[in-house]
Amino acid sequence: MTAATVAPAVVPEVVARVPAHDPAHGAGGMWSVLPLVSLVLIGLVALGYLVLAAREGRRRGWSPWRAASFTTGAALLGWALSPGFDALADADFGVHMAQHLLVAMLAPLALVLGAPVTLLLRALPPARARLLGCVLRSSPLHLLAHPVTALLLSSGGLAALYLTPLYAATTTSEPLHALVHVHLVASGYLFAWVVVGPDPAPGRATVRTRLVVLGVAVAVHAVVAQLLFAGLLVQVHEPVAEMQAAGNLMYFGGDVAELLLAVALLLTWKPGRRRGPSRGRSPGRRRNPARAQAPAPSLTA
C-alpha cells in the first residue's frame, strides 16, 4: 500500500474552527501561558548561544554556518510551539502532524548541527568544562547516547503516541500535552545528536551502525504514516480527511527530514586513516638485526 496524493491545505479552513476556549485543554491557569513561556525560554537560549558564538568568534573563531543553523532551529521550534500554531494543531490533526515534524525532526536537527555543547565547552572556565566533560563520559550518558536507546525514545515514542490511547489522553490533559511536547523535542534532539551531531558523544557508534538505525527509523515512520492514512490499528479518532492529510505529511515530510539526516551524516563523516606497510620494506622481507639496533639519526645539528 502506498500513500495517496497529499491532501489540499487545510489551514485556512482550520482558522475558522479554532474555538475561543477549547474544553479539551481547559486546564487554564499556568497551562494557558505555557506556549508563551516556551517562546521566552527558546528566545533566551538562542540569545545566549549567539552571545557565546560572537565571543568565541573574536577569540578563536566560530563557524557562522553553525550559528545560522542553531538560530534556524530555535526559530522553527519557537514557531511550532507558538500559541497560534499550537491552537491550529489542537483544532486539526493535519496541522498537529506538521507541528510534530517541526518539533521532533527538523528543529532538533538544525539545533544539533549548531554544536552547542562544543561552544559551551569552549566558553566555560576550565574547571566547569572538565565537569561537563565528566558528565559526557558518565555511564548514564553512555546508555542514553547509544543509537538503540535514541531509536526507542524517538521512533518508539512515535508509535506509542498513535498506537496507544496516549494521543487521546493528551487531548483532555494539558499537563500531559505539554509533557509529550517536551518528549518530542528531547528525543528528537537526542536522535539527531547520536546520528549526526558534531558535538562530542560518549562511545560514538560507527557510521554503518548509525545508518542502520536511521534506516529502521525510516521504516517505523513509514509504517505509522500508512496506518494513520488507512485508520488501521491507531488509537486516533479524527476526521478521515485530517488523518489522511496527517499520514501523507508524515510519510513525505518524514522522508525529507530523514534524508537531511543522512546527508548531514555523510557530510560530517571523517573516515579513519588506514595504516599501510612501512616505507622501504616489502611484506615478506626480514629486517637486518644490525640495522634494527642502529641508533636513529639525530634531528638536531
pLDDT of residue 272: 52
d(CA 70, CA 110): 6
Least confident of 17-31, 36-50, 151-165: 17-31
Q: Count CB atoms within 10 A of the CB of residue 97.
A: 25
* DSSP of 18-29: --SS-GGGTT-G
pLDDT of residue 158: 93
User: With 60 as the cut, is the pLDDT of residue 277 above it?
Assistant: no
- pLDDT (mean) for 134-161: 92
- Banded model confidence at residue 35, pLDDT cuts 50, 70, 90: confident
Report whether 231 contacts 1 (CB < 8 A). no
Q: Indicate if the alpha-carbon torsion angle 232, 234, 235, 240 is positive or negative.
A: negative
User: With 90 as the cut, is the pLDDT of residue 64 above it?
Assistant: yes
- Banded model confidence at residue 162, pLDDT cuts 50, 70, 90: very high
pLDDT of residue 101: 95
User: Which phi and psi (to 5°) does residue 60 adopt?
Assistant: -125, 0
d(CA 210, CA 147): 7
pLDDT of residue 301: 33
Report whether 94 contacts 242 (CB < 8 A). yes
Instruction: Compute the mean pLDDT over every residue in the chain, rounded to the nearest whole number.
Output: 82
Q: Percent helix, strand and coil across the chain, each rounded to 5?
A: 70, 0, 30
pLDDT of residue 206: 87
Enter the C-alpha cell of residue 39.
Answer: 517562546
pLDDT of residue 30: 61
- pTM for the structure as a whole: 0.80
DSSP state of 272: P
d(CA 229, CA 236): 11
pLDDT of residue 280: 46
User: With 90 as the cut, is the pLDDT of residue 110 above it?
Assistant: yes
- Banded model confidence at residue 111, pLDDT cuts 50, 70, 90: very high
User: With 70 as the cut, is the pLDDT of residue 297 above it?
Assistant: no
Q: What is the percent of the chain with per-residue pLDDT over 70, rounded to a whole number?
A: 78
pLDDT of residue 167: 94
pLDDT of residue 37: 85
Report whether 89 contacts 25 (CB < 8 A). no
User: With 70 as the cut, is the pLDDT of residue 3 above it?
Assistant: no
The structural domains of the chain, with segments of one domain joined by +, span: 30-124+137-269
